[in-house]
Structure 1
């Protein structure tokens, strides 16, 4: 065994590991939050550690991704470190402080949940009334087919007798999930959850009033295993026990977040009766522990897209009632999109609207009350920093805004010293490049000597180590020619997807009256920057509305209303999914959309 010391955020932990273990795998296993978008393949260059003791010579991957200054101070990529002797490392960046989007539509709508609490004062048993306790309960509720599981069945007689047959019954879709002494009919809570690829948001909701009591959130605990769904699917197939590892990571995190809500509000877990969950199809599969291999390979068939109700205790989440995983559409359009459609009321509208959910993945829906079509694009990693050289999440010190006309050209989250650039900053950067003609319409960075710019801006455009050019934001924080290409690929995928859906629906830009932008990156991005680079068509100017976390809002709506559950079920079965890889016209549109308007 080899002893290693890991320092992060001013604290140190010591681990004993097997000789030959991979450092990144050890850090992930021990719960040390790491940036590792590629899942440890040595591609992203994000899993940085600084050696205080035991540093080895840099690998080729280290030399490719790290500057000479970084290498000289002992920085290495943890995925390339084989532990053979005692080492001491420091984690330079925290990946668990990302700003999580939890805001959305707070208006309380229909409050008529499937969770029903009924106070009962039953007649006492007697020689003349020898009904069983279960029959007495069924009669009092008027539910002849009331289902009671074996665990609760063993308890009902004692509860009824001890409370003199004055009890509150809590039911969910014809099942008894709790029997409580006395009148607790006004004490009823649920949790609505949005499992994003990058973040998780949990809303504690009063099921009697519809009020959101509290909200907690965090970075998805699966993130160290890969930034996108394909990386995580690959982890489940390439690593022994990979599926169990990812399932346990998210289930334990959700149990912890619900526990945190319970502790903060003094609401016991036993009074949480339903949890609604939305997410993309891979996230819901991994939560349920379902194999997701077939999602990643043609013809892209998931295990399930319909509503799944499962007891919380069976999932390992200690609530009294059921976990409801809400329905999606297909392998790449999940319940986060059906929930977003529900929130935006696209399915009720006479006019056409477009919903664009931009997070780690990009999903698009276009339609009205008569027809909705949807697709998915691989857009998110660039806009969340995963494929950008100095890209990071929305953490303190991330460059979040860029304006080349200002004296200080950038703004960071928390006004801290810059440590990288996040999605909104990435979008602004390319928008500024287009506006100031630093890139041409093909996206190539120009010779600064040919540009009509201030000397302060010109001197920032320098040759990069990969043979192209890069723009110095501050110190070692740069934006490269390759980064521009990554944004071009992402924006082309989104804009081509929009055009395909419009073509499928038989409509034009003019027919679309509202454009709803949702998701983490979508909420924080500058709309004008998105229009400038063509991520959104210029014809949408004046139509774009940010709707925050529409997936989380839709999850809350379903938690509170049977009617909304009915609606989301109808949405999931009526939306037509368009598989872009199967469209002959997509490739041509994608290539056309790679350019920037002159």
Structure 2
């Protein structure tokens, strides 16, 4: 039997950890076993070049294919790709090239309690007679007799707790029943917090909020990277993993549940409560994420007609999912709208019901971008497989929105100026910075309408040939945290063109279905955590959004999470969601006769309106 070897993992911040493994494992496999991300975006297929680490000790030599994915400066500084680098003997892995998750930008929530607080969950105060020796009525019988119009679903632990205070000789007991609908879920001597959990399950990141069910107040929030990303940054990669691996779907399900339980633990500790006080949940997300969350088969999403096992609204027990909530907690999932447009977009629309009699475009920009066009109450929707490029993934210089990421660019007096999250040394560019950079390059004729670098780019940046064609050097190695130049390549531009083209094509086709011109839109709403940080004018400049007056574009923050909160705190939330689904026409873009023509047209940075 092979002798195990020692692997020391040194994070950018925090304590060093030691793990033991067998020779022949890749650095990526060791990081996964340690519960850490490798930073890659291709799910271990060895083609993205993003899983950069530094490794010292017994590791395999640099492979030719690996060398093609690294810059000469990176090779000289000892950088390796975790998916290629194999451990052969005791090794130290340095993760200083990766951004810590806890510095990710917080999601923008615009939900305010009070407006919708009719959750259907309430406390009812009642009395039961004490134990009487001559009658001998059991405790549970006395509870039912006191509230005969309600059904009791009490846990054995709850009955045992009540038994301790049900002493002989006591004339009566004042109790408080936690009621949801016509069911009593818990009976207590003292009223305690009844909590609800709102979940927004994104492909890239997960968001959770704890609410007080009586007041509707948000008590705590948490956000984490979706750790499923170790098997690919987009839905297609994860669906492929689920299909190709024997227990792929189970692994993806467990990863998400572990993610959510960690957020629950964090939030209840913040407010000094326990997880068994969570009685009601609402989860929203795209259809694939919801299927992974529920542990359902995802085969139906791999080929036309791209449908899963359910699309209608669900109300089910939460206990089988092994979430850290009350054993009797109920889980609500609003209806999905068709294809890859999920309950997250339904939740967004819940927040916009007062706009249904107008005209608007709603965009949730992300890895799986979801688009809605409304014309006087009739609604069309579709999704665009934009991939991770617009969020900083799949780009040589890209990274998530974390400390060290450039989030803003501009040129002032022919000099490039930028803003870095956290004010630290630069590590890369996040999504909002990528959009700004493209707008700057276009405005200064550094790239043409087809996305090709021009001779004028050399007036602002060093322009050179790289592994992926021409590239500009934004910062030299002395100005970065990684001691390697920050470059923006021709291939990076192409990746953004593909993402932008997919989203804009969806917008154009839906606008045509709704018989609307851009000038006829009353509003363009930008939803989502990522969208909260995008510059609307720059989205128009690069052609992702149609040209409208700036004041028409409104950022509505994390509207999916807000819609989930409204669903939890409104006794009509699920009924409203079901009515919204009836108004929606889902459009499968690939089936549209003009899809290919429009997509090719929208690859350019001057999409026609």
Indicate whether the TM-score tops 0.5.
yes
Q: 1:419 — aligned with what?
A: 427
Q: For residues 206 and 562 of structure 2, what CA distance do their matches in structure 1 show? A: 13
Counterpart of 1:230 (choices 236, 257, 266) is 236
Counterpart of 1:484 (choices 493, 499, 510) is 493
State the 1:480 CA deviation: 1.1
State the 1:387 CA deviation: 1.8
Q: 1:2 — aligned with what?
A: 5
Q: For residues 469 and 239 of structure 1, what CA distance do their matches in structure 2 show? A: 37
Q: 2:49 — aligned with what?
A: 45
Q: For residues 540 and 197 of structure 1, what CA distance do their matches in structure 2 show? A: 31
Residues 194-233 of structure 1: pairs in structure 2 closer than 5 A: 194-233=200-239
1:562 aligned onto 2:605? no
Q: 1:506 — aligned with what?
A: 515
Q: For residues 584 and 133 of structure 1, what CA distance do their matches in structure 2 show? A: 69
Q: 2:469 — aligned with what?
A: 467
1:93 aligned onto 2:95? no
State the 1:373 CA deviation: 1.1
Q: 1:83 — aligned with what?
A: 87
Structure 1 stretches of 4+ with a deviation exceeding 4 A read: 124-136, 149-157, 162-165
| Conserved 8 A contact 1:97-1:396 | no
Counterpart of 1:515 (choices 514, 519, 524) is 524
Secondary structure of the structure 2 residue equivalent to 1:562 = coil
1:102 aligned onto 2:107? yes
Secondary structure of the structure 2 residue equivalent to 1:538 = coil
> Please, what TM-score do these two structures have when normalized by structure 2?
0.90
Q: 1:494 — aligned with what?
A: 503
Q: 1:397 — aligned with what?
A: 404
Q: For residues 253 and 135 of structure 1, what CA distance do their matches in structure 2 show? A: 41
For structure 1, which runs of at least 5 residues remain unmatched after alignment? none
For structure 2, which runs of at least 5 residues remain unmatched after alignment? 478-484
Let me know the Cα RMSD of the aligned residues. 2.5
Residues 253-402 of structure 1: pairs in structure 2 closer than 5 A: 253-320=259-326, 321-345=329-353, 349-368=356-375, 370-402=377-409
Q: For residues 355 and 130 of structure 1, what CA distance do their matches in structure 2 show? A: 63
State the 1:199 CA deviation: 1.4
Secondary structure of the structure 1 residue equivalent to 2:124 = strand
| Conserved 8 A contact 2:407-2:433 | yes
Aligned residues: 588
Deviations 1:135-192 (A, max 9, x none): 5434533535x25267569658737835954322223344432222x241x6322121
Q: For residues 232 and 404 of structure 2, what CA distance do their matches in structure 1 show? A: 23
- Higher deviation after alignment, 480-489 or 161-170: 161-170
| Conserved 8 A contact 2:529-2:557 | yes
- Higher deviation after alignment, 259-268 or 305-314: 305-314
Q: For residues 357 and 138 of structure 1, what CA distance do their matches in structure 2 show? A: 48
Q: 2:176 — aligned with what?
A: 168
Q: 2:36 — aligned with what?
A: 32
Secondary structure of the structure 2 residue equivalent to 1:42 = coil
State the 1:501 CA deviation: 0.8
Q: For residues 45 and 480 of structure 1, what CA distance do their matches in structure 2 show? A: 13
Secondary structure of the structure 2 residue equivalent to 1:558 = helix
| Conserved 8 A contact 2:12-2:100 | no
Q: For residues 8 and 66 of structure 2, what CA distance do their matches in structure 1 show? A: 21
Q: 2:437 — aligned with what?
A: 429
Secondary structure of the structure 2 residue equivalent to 1:359 = coil
Deviations 1:371-396 (A, max 9, x none): 11110001241111112111100011
Secondary structure of the structure 2 residue equivalent to 1:97 = helix
Q: For residues 135 and 586 of structure 2, what CA distance do their matches in structure 1 show? A: 58
State the 1:498 CA deviation: 0.8
Q: For residues 411 and 523 of structure 1, what CA distance do their matches in structure 2 show? A: 17
Secondary structure of the structure 2 residue equivalent to 1:20 = coil
State the 1:537 CA deviation: 0.8
Q: For residues 570 and 159 of structure 1, what CA distance do their matches in structure 2 show? A: 47
Q: For residues 536 and 345 of structure 1, what CA distance do their matches in structure 2 show? A: 23
- Higher deviation after alignment, 586-595 or 318-327: 318-327
Q: For residues 439 and 174 of structure 1, what CA distance do their matches in structure 2 show? A: 64
| Conserved 8 A contact 1:364-1:498 | yes
> Please, what TM-score do these two structures have when normalized by structure 1?
0.92
Q: For residues 462 and 270 of structure 1, what CA distance do their matches in structure 2 show? A: 59
Deviations 1:201-255 (A, max 9, x none): 2212111211112222221222222111111122222223222222111112211
State the 1:569 CA deviation: 2.3
State the 1:507 CA deviation: 2.0
